[in-house]
Amino acid sequence: MTLDVVQTLASLVRIPSVNPMGREVSGDIYYEGRLTDHLEKLFQQLGWPYRRQPDLPGRENIVARIDGDVPPERGGKVLLLEAHQDTVPVDGMTIPPFEPTISGGKLYGRGSCDIKGGGAAILAAASRIAEEKPKGRPTLLIGFPANEEHGFTGARTLAAIWRDGAQSPLREFLPKPDAVIVSEPTLLDVVAAHKGVLRWHCHTHGKAAHSSNPQLGESAIYSMAKVVSALERYANEVVGNLTEHSLVGRPTLSVGTISGGISVNTVPDHCVIEIDRRIIPSPADPSDKAQQHIIDYISANVPSTTKLEHRTTYICSPGLSDQHNGALVEQLGAAIRSCGHAGRKIGVPYGTDAPAYDALGIPTVVFGPGNIAQAHTCDEHVEVDQLHAAVDILVKFVKSFG
């Protein structure tokens, strides 16, 4: 059975798989479970053997396998095509998020661009390969991990199967890939490198008092104001001068949230911010030292009496390096160009699942239909022409990869 990419995407968009992004929420639209069940039924209909793999509590990866001409144990190649299951929340959307609609050559709905469009392209391409059975085809692993949007945990759980010395019952069913294509909206170009990210909470502590006698208290908000001012100087004057990468540019820092106080008539004894530090995939910007560099800078630029607490990072990704994927970039680029598209080698500032596989030395790139400018938007959409083109490109590449 060969899948139609547009119909497949519509079926994926109809099934909510919203990542709450750490918020305390409940409801049928949250988490990936219903989409995982849908993919399981689809794999059963297609006759593709598959496995589900626990990630976070109640959230699972699912991976199907389509055998190639030559079994991996006899030297046949293995290719992982990967697209995450989750989407960002739907707050503020101006279109029905789970009612896929086609208008003006675009399919609208939450996840249509990021990244259910790419997932549909993978499924449609794999169904063509399974139907046509071209000579020399590799073994395909069709992977849909959980929780990309808030920590990349699903990809790390999947990649852990192939870590040296790992003991996993899935290892025989899922042989280590020779290459990985992670789907994200790249306008059909090839992402060879992207930035990593560190995120953590920084707290200031004070002493509560009635606002009629503020001198009896210590305002954690005033203390945090000094911290934020120091971070602004760090962002403007320091971080961008640490290093530079030819494809992804310079590292950055941003303060994204701030919260403190319980009422206007109480001197606040607590304030917290969230810090986002983008990492350059280079030995010159090691992720294990970036947080400490910022902590040291803050300590040197705020009063020593400031009661500061930095929590450990809750998201840490080193980014995708272009040190191991040159041949893969060229081979995929050639397939893209043979289908009439530019197939440029590019770098991007956002994060993906790719570092989980790159960390194991597996050549990994990012590729897919759609424009990242449409990801996470109030009227998210993907161009239908891009979906069809992505399918043709993936089929072309798979035929050449084996």
CB within 8 Å of 293: residues ≥ 6 apart: none
Q: What is the pLDDT of residues 42-53, one digit of tens each?
A: 999 999 999 999
Q: How far apart are CA 158 and CA 143, in angstroms?
A: 9
**What single-letter DSSP state applies at residue 374?**
G
Residues of the chain within CATH 3.30.70.360 domain(s) are 196-317
Q: Which helix (H) or strand (E) holds 116?
A: helix 116-132
In this structure, which long-range contacts are made by residues 335-340, counting pairs with CB atoms below 8 Å and at least 24 apart in sequence?
335/393, 335/396, 335/397, 335/400, 336/188, 336/189, 336/190, 336/367, 336/393, 338/396, 339/389, 339/392, 339/393, 339/396
Cβ atoms 76, 67 nearer than 8 A:
no
Measured CA to CA, the distance from residue 172 to residue 277 in angstroms comes to: 38
Domain 5-194+319-401 has CATH 3.40.630.10: yes
Name the residue among 200, 194, 198, 199 with its Cα closest to residue 319. Answer: 194
Q: With a cut of 90, say whether residue 228 has pLDDT above it.
A: yes
Q: How is domain 196-317 classified at the CATH fold level?
A: Alpha-Beta Plaits (3.30.70)
pLDDT, averaged across the chain = 97
Q: Are 102 and 167 in contact (CB under 8 A)?
A: no
Quick one: pLDDT at residue 241? 97
DSSP labels, 283-317: TTS-HHHHHHHHHHHHHHHS-TT-EEEEPPPSEEE
Q: State pLDDT tens for residues 166-196.
A: 889 999 999 999 999 999 999 999 999 999 9
Mean per-residue pLDDT, 327-346: 98
pLDDT score for 402: 77
pLDDT of residue 381: 98
Boundaries of CATH 3.40.630.10 in the chain?
A: 5-194+319-401
Output DSSP code: residue 30. Answer: B
pLDDT reported for residue 47: 98
Residues near 122 by beta carbon (within 8 Å), at least 6 away in sequence: 81, 82, 83, 142, 183, 394
> Is 286:217 a contact under the CB 8 Å cutoff?
no
pLDDT > 90: what percent of the chain?
A: 98
Residue 186 pLDDT: 98
Predicted local distance difference test score (pLDDT) of residue 197? 97
- pLDDT band for position 359 (cuts 50, 70, 90): very high
Structure confidence at residue 257 (pLDDT):
97
Identity of the amino acid at 258: I
Q: For the residues 205-228, what does the mean pLDDT come to?
A: 98
- The mean pLDDT value for 132-154 works out to 97
